[in-house]
C-alpha cells in the first residue's frame, strides 16, 4: 500500500542514506527505526480511514460527473472530473491493498491452528475440488463415485497409453556412437 505512494521511494531513500558506524545488523535496525516515524506519518496523512475517504472520493466524482453531464462544455469541470477520477482510483486501489493485506494476515494467523477457521477452509477446499458427476464416453451422466473415478482412469489411460515392454538399452551400441564435443553440444 505504501510502496505505491508517489513519495515512498524518496522517503525510504532519505532514511536509508543515513551514515552510521557499527555492525550490519546494528545499521539495519537503526535505519528501520529511522524509517518508522516517517512511515507512520505517511500512513496517518495518506492512508488513514481509507474506506471512508474512498467512499467520499467516489461520491465527489459522481457529483462532478453529474455537473459535467448538465454542462458538457465546461473545460474547468472536465479537468476537475479527470482529477477526481484519478484520486478515486488511487484511493480505491489503496483500499483494495489494505483489505487484501488484512485478509492475508488473518489467513496466516488462523490457517494451521486446528481452529474452526482451519476446518472450514479444509471443508471449503474439499467441496470445491469434489466432482459430483461426470458425462461418460457413451454420453450418459453418472453420479456414482466409482463410475466417476473409473471414467478418469479410463480417460488418462487412453491419453497416456498403457504399460508396454521396453527394450533394454544396449550399452555397447551407445558407446560406439558419435560423441559430441562440449562446444558442439550447445
Grade residue 184 by pLDDT with cuts at 50, 70 and 90. Answer: low
121, part of any domain: no
Grid cell digits, residue 141 = 451422466
102, part of any domain: yes
160, part of any domain: no
End-to-end CA distance of the chain: 45
11, part of any domain: yes
Q: What is the pLDDT of residue 98?
A: 86
Q: Domain containing 65: what range? A: 2-110
User: CA 41 → CA 27, 28, 44, 46, 143, distances in Å?
Assistant: 22, 21, 5, 8, 59
User: CA 70 → CA 73, 90, 111, 113, distances in Å?
Assistant: 9, 26, 52, 57
Q: What is the DSSP string of 37-93?
A: HHHHHHIIIIITTHHHHHHHHHHHHHHHHHHHHH-TT-HHHHHHHHHHHHHHHHHHH
Q: Whole-angstrom Cα distance, residue 165 to residue 174?
A: 20
Domain count of the fold of the chain = 1
Q: Whole-angstrom Cα distance, residue 73 to residue 183?
A: 70
Q: Whole-angstrom Cα distance, residue 77 to residue 79?
A: 5
Grade residue 1 by pLDDT with cuts at 50, 70 and 90. Answer: low
106, part of any domain: yes
118, part of any domain: no
Q: What is the pLDDT of residue 5?
A: 76
Q: What average pLDDT score do residues 63-92 get?
A: 89
Q: What is the pLDDT of residue 15?
A: 83
Q: CB neighbours of 59 closer than 8 A, spacing ≥ 6?
A: none
Does the global pTM surpass 0.85? no
Question: pLDDT digits over 103-161, tens only?
Answer: 888 877 776 677 787 788 888 888 888 888 888 888 888 888 888 888 888 888 888 87
Amino acid at each position: 500500500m505504501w510502496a505505491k505512494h508517489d513519495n515512498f521511494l524518496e522517503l525510504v531513500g532519505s532514511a536509508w542514506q543515513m551514515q552510521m558506524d557499527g555492525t550490519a545488523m546494528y545499521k539495519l535496525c537503526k535505519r528501520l527505526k529511522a524509517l518508522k516515524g516517517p512511515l507512520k506519518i505517511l500512513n496517518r496523512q495518506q492512508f488513514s480511514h481509507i474506506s471512508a475517504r474512498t467512499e467520499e472520493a467516489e461520491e465527489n466524482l459522481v457529483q462532478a460527473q453529474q455537473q459535467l453531464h448538465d454542462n458538457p462544455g465546461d473545460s474547468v469541470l472536465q479537468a476537475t472530473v479527470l482529477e477526481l477520477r484519478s484520486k478515486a482510483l488511487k484511493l480505491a486501489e489503496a483500499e483494495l491493498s489494505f483489505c487484501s493485506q488484512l485478509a492475508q494476515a488473518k489467513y496466516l494467523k488462523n490457517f494451521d491452528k486446528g481452529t474452526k477457521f482451519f476446518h472450514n477452509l479444509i471443508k471449503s477446499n474439499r467441496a470445491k475440488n469434489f466432482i459430483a458427476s461426470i458425462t461418460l464416453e457413451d454420453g450418459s451422466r453418472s453420479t456414482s463415485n466409482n463410475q466417476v473415478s473409473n471414467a478418469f482412469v479410463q480417460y488418462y489411460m487412453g491419453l497416456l497409453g498403457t504399460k508396454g515392454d521396453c527394450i533394454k538399452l544396449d550399452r555397447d551400441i551407445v558407446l560406439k556412437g558419435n560423441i559430441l564435443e562440449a562446444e558442439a553440444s550447445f
